[in-house]
């Protein structure tokens, strides 16, 4: 679906992600610390296997997850609206094709991908029907969208989210669940963790994601901590 471009060729309805776009090097530390046992990846594979299939990573940001997907999928496409992140994603090893676009404006033909992942990107209901319709357009019959979201009910990360005014745009857990249920999604919870090698990295990531009045007290109450529990919710819709 075409659209009039915004700055840097970005789709006009794109909303810049301050964590990923302002500090890509700190967001890289966050991705590196995420889910060290691969429990989220295991759940994603169970919901919608991508070995030998064509996978779209929607809102791929700086492309952290692209090389892992290319190791298994027949073909990987990363779509990202932010012009500042596209070169970082394109520079990842593995040969994923990286294209500018958005959930609402995917530069792909009808029925051309088997699996779509959207990891902390665009799908923060309500207000996501345009993107869901566009994802359904590019999915082959029987293909699946899996959205990776924060669990706002379980884990230490959820407690930080509840205290943070910055998390308000992510919506209330009950309303998010209802939105996806109305659209026939399967819901899956995964309890995992953030595990950092260095305290300085944990501090930098907490200060990226949370305002000082939230990050500061948590760090003071957990001196020397290198990890925290982190709940995810996955939503899977099949075309
Ligand atoms: C928090 S970052 C996550 C990036 C990546 N998925 C990851 O996990 O490393 C959210 C991403 O969604 C992108 N984004 C913003 N608006 C979007 C839209 N309308 N459609 C698709 N992606 C969008 C942002 O530019 C950003 O790269």
**CB-ligand 1 contact for 123 (6 Å cutoff):** no
Structure tokens at 99: 């294209």
pLDDT tens per residue across span 113-130: 999 999 999 999 999 999
Distance CA(14)–CA(82), nearest Å, equals 8
Whether 101 is in the pocket of ligand 1, judged by its Cβ within 6 Å, is: no
Banded pLDDT at 181 (limits 50, 70, 90): very high
Task: Calculate mean pLDDT across residues 53-78.
Answer: 98
Split at pLDDT 50, 70, 90, the class of 15 is confident
Could you please state the CATH topology (level 3) that the domain comprising 7-28+37-152+172-193+232-238 is classified under.
Answer: Rossmann fold (3.40.50)
Q: Is 120 in the pocket of ligand 1 (CB under 6 A)?
A: yes
**pLDDT tens for each residue of 189-233:** 999 999 999 999 999 999 999 999 999 999 999 999 999 999 999
pLDDT more than 70, % of the chain: 95
- Please give the model's pTM, rounded to 2 decimal places: 0.94
The CB of 85 under 6 Å from ligand 1? The reply is yes
> What pLDDT shows up at residue 98?
98
Instruction: Looking at the CA of residue 118, tell me the nearest atom of ligand 1.
Output: 6
Query: How much is the pLDDT for 6?
Result: 57
Question: How many A from CA of 121 to the centre of ligand 1?
Answer: 4
- Given a cut of 80, whether residue 1 has pLDDT beyond it is no
Sorting pLDDT into bands at 50, 70 and 90, what band is 14? confident
Q: Is the CB of 63 under 6 A from ligand 1?
A: no
Confidence of residue 39 (pLDDT cuts 50, 70, 90): very high
Helix locations, the chain, DSSP H: 18-22, 24-33, 39-47, 66-70, 86-90, 129-138, 156-163, 173-182, 199-209, 212-221
What ranges do the domains of the chain cover?
7-28+37-152+172-193+232-238
Is the distance from CB of 57 to CB of 78 less than 8 angstroms? yes
Residue 230: exposure state from Cβ atoms within 10 A (0-12, 13-18, ≥19): buried
**Helix or strand run (H / E) with residue 142:** strand 139-150
- 144-162 average pLDDT score: 96
Mean pLDDT (the chain) is 94
Give 131's pLDDT tier (boundaries 50, 70, 90): very high
Cβ of residue 40 lying under 6 Å from some atom of ligand 1: no
Atom of ligand 1 nearest to the CA of 27: 9
């Amino acid at each position: 679906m075409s659209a009039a471009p915004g700055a840097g060729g970005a789709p006009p309805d794109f909303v810049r992600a301050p964590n990923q776009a302002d500090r890509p090097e700190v967001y890289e530390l966050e991705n590196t610390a995420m889910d060290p046992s691969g429990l989220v990846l295991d759940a994603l594979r169970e919901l919608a296997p991508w070995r030998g299939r064509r996978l779209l990573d929607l809102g791929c940001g700086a492309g952290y997850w692209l090389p892992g997907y290319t190791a298994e999928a027949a073909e990987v496409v990363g779509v990202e609206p932010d012009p500042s992140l596209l070169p970082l994603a394109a520079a990842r090893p593995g040969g994923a094709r990286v294209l500018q676009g958005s959930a609402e404006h995917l530069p792909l033909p009808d029925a051309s991908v088997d699996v779509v992942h959207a990891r902390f990107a665009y799908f923060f209901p309500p207000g996501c029907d345009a993107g869901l319709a566009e994802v359904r357009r590019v999915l082959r019959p029987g293909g699946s969208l899996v959205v990776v979201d924060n669990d706002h009910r379980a884990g230490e990360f959820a407690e930080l989210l509840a205290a943070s005014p910055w998390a308000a745009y992510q919506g209330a857990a009950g309303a998010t669940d209802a939105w996806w249920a109305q659209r026939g999604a399967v819901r899956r919870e995964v309890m995992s963790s953030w595990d950092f090698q260095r305290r300085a990295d944990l501090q930098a990531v907490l200060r990226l994601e949370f305002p000082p009045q939230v990050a500061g007290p948590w760090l003071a109450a957990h001196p020397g901590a290198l990890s925290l529990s982190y709940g995810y919710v996955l939503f899977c819709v099949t075309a």
